[in-house]
Chain A
């Protein structure tokens, strides 16, 4: 009898604690929605736009990490080069949207493959830290080299949109054609990458190389070619993402790649690095969190970077393998 009473009381207490935590979260969000549903939806849309943008970059990170186990720090800078190349296409040759996009994509594919060939390939069998430092050096080199006057110049440049900005207003919520283009491209790329990695022969080879390089080599897979193909694929993602990013936030400078690059990598870690859906979902979460921080936190726009990385550290503490990460692939 007494035991039963204690049991019920303790049960009520523990579920009560959970209910209070859940209640607070729901109340905060509900309060925000109830206060101003239009602003809330607007922030959601902004967050999703950012999230789709991050998703393309994050998928690139996750692919490279999956196959060569390397944080490609230079990836954000490949992205930056893509934005500048599309800018030159538009201003110098009067390219419209699609040719400029293709130009940026092709340039980034070449750059990614060259970086792999020059900087990472000689270190393939070296300790992982050596490759990581090399990636860091490559990133700094690209940033400062392109900031030279005869390359891209160190100035902030206003990007010229290749198509007109159209805004629609539905019940007070504005959304733009850029948001539609970004979301559509991002989803198409995501599905494309999923298809390539999951269904094609080259994707199978990628997965085999990621799993066990020596054995893959024994099975007749040209591992170096597969790695080059992976870098090329990520280059294509970076080029497209750069063009869209510059169209949505029309200001380009040679250090523009650092922030989106790091955030996308963090998103990939949150989603579970090595997993493509994980990178996608992590990026959407990242974009939403960032937009909400800017929208609702006091000093949000200055704190957003801090919040993003706090999220990362919390995630690493709770589940270092990320949301979609393989729990058996322990952090080695």
Chain B
């Protein structure tokens, strides 16, 4: 009873402290080899990626297959930033950071400007005005052209201008500021910035690709996001024509190894706590309602499309964060790590652990990675069986327990807030089951 009365945030902090210290102790004592340390760190960052997918698929009900693309976007963009700072490729140590931040600022401001101008509305009004003289078809051709021109102008002026400003600002400010610090600290600072901007870039791309695609449902959404994954894969393979240091199909090398155990664990902790608070907030409830019954949600005044896009973009940002950690864990990036089949990995984790369960997804990620690597102890002729076993697990789970091992149950501090404890927990659990039945 006493333990139960601990506040949620304290439980979370204590839990992660204990896990972190135990792991550190075990590796200091030599119980864990360097190889297994890496496997567990990989599991941790895959858990972040899988949580992002769970937000898209488990909570928002969007069956999207392009997760690995966003993982790759986060990995490559953050690797460009830190590689520039530590090893250098663009001639200015902050060049990578300036470039990525400029793109993000340009995107965001252009998007804000376009939505402020209410372009769709404008197009309709222009068309109505023109239809005084023209047929409907002619009027819409003219109106569309005008709107496209205005949109292009806004993108070039607002997006390009703000991007240019941000780039100049970062180039002028960051090297002297961070350069004054000792190298070890400035590296960590730049790593943090790289992870954040990688996540933001992945989220932004997710938002932009979500705008046209999220109106589609089920198979259409699945195949369209899969298509986006393949387009990104093709882009990574040819990226060396754009930025030579990305090396395209040969694989990007010389990325500083900055991912350490405290970093991954802290990222997972933040990701879990943010997701938990997000899901149990009113926004989270809106997202759940969109999954369970879009029509009913719409009648309750919920902007279905907006919440779908929000969940999708946030899920993509999680993938981007995990990608950044991945890039600095192995110091080598190859496009084949982000091919569309890799989008299935986080899917297996989510489906295995429990659709719509944060606890389940996190455990699923660890089980998946440890199983995949643990099966290496098999004799050499059975090594290839690993990839036979994991689709079989997926099939078995789908056929016999489609809601995943954990279902939608949560453990510990991931449980719904106690104030509404019983009813909210039951509601979310039940609605998840109903969502399955659709």
Contact = CB atoms under 8 A, between A and B. Distances in A.
Interface stretch (A46-54, A218-226, A298-306): A298-306
A305 B395 CA distance: 29
Interface string A266-303: 10010000000000000000000000000000010011
Interface stretch (A11-19, A83-91, A242-250): A11-19
Contacts of B223: 71, 265-266, 269, 312
Contacts of A134: 394-395, 398-399
B227 A137 contact: no
Given A7-B133, A18-B141, A144-B391, A132 B384 contact: no
Contacts of B398: 123, 130, 133-134, 137
B394 A133 contact: yes
A140 interface: yes
Contact of A17 (B63, B145, B392): B145
B384 A147 contact: yes
Given A132-B219, A302-B237, A303-B234, A140 B341 contact: yes
A313 B228 contact: yes
A136 interface: yes
A331 interface: yes
A164 interface: no
Interface in A225-251: none
B399 A123 contact: yes
Contacts of A145: 388
Interface in B6-52: none
Contact of A14 (B63, B138, B385): B138
Interface string B212-241: 110011111011101110110111011001
B144 to A, nearest CB: 9
Bin the interface of chain B by size. Answer: 35 or more
B217 A331 contact: yes
A70 B387 CA distance: 24
The A interface is mostly helix, strand or loop, or mixed, namely: helix
Contacts of A14: 134, 138-139, 141-142, 145
Contacts of A130: 398, 402, 436
Interface size class of A (residues with CB under 8 A): 35 or more
B347 A133 contact: yes
Contact of B384 (A127, A149, A309, A332): A149
Contacts of A309: 227-228, 230-231
Nearest to B143: A14
B109 interface: no
Contact of B227 (A126, A136, A154, A266): A266
Contact of B395 (A71, A128, A137): A137
Contacts of B385: 148
Contacts of A10: 130, 133-134, 138, 142
Nearest to A265: B223
A286 to B, nearest CB: 13
B255 interface: no
B116 interface: no
A128 B436 CA distance: 9
A55 interface: no
B344 interface: yes
A219 B230 CA distance: 44
27 contacts: A10-B130, A17-B141, A17-B145, A65-B219, A71-B223, A126-B402, A127-B437, A128-B218, A128-B219, A130-B402, A132-B222, A133-B398, A134-B395, A134-B398, A136-B344, A141-B395, A144-B388, A148-B384, A148-B385, A154-B384, A258-B341, A266-B227, A302-B237, A309-B231, A313-B224, A331-B220, A332-B218
Interface of B: 63, 130, 133-134, 138-139, 141-142, 145, 212-213, 216-220, 222-224, 226-228, 230-231, 233-235, 237-238, 241, 341, 344, 347, 351, 381, 384-385, 387-388, 390-392, 394-395, 398-399, 402, 436-438
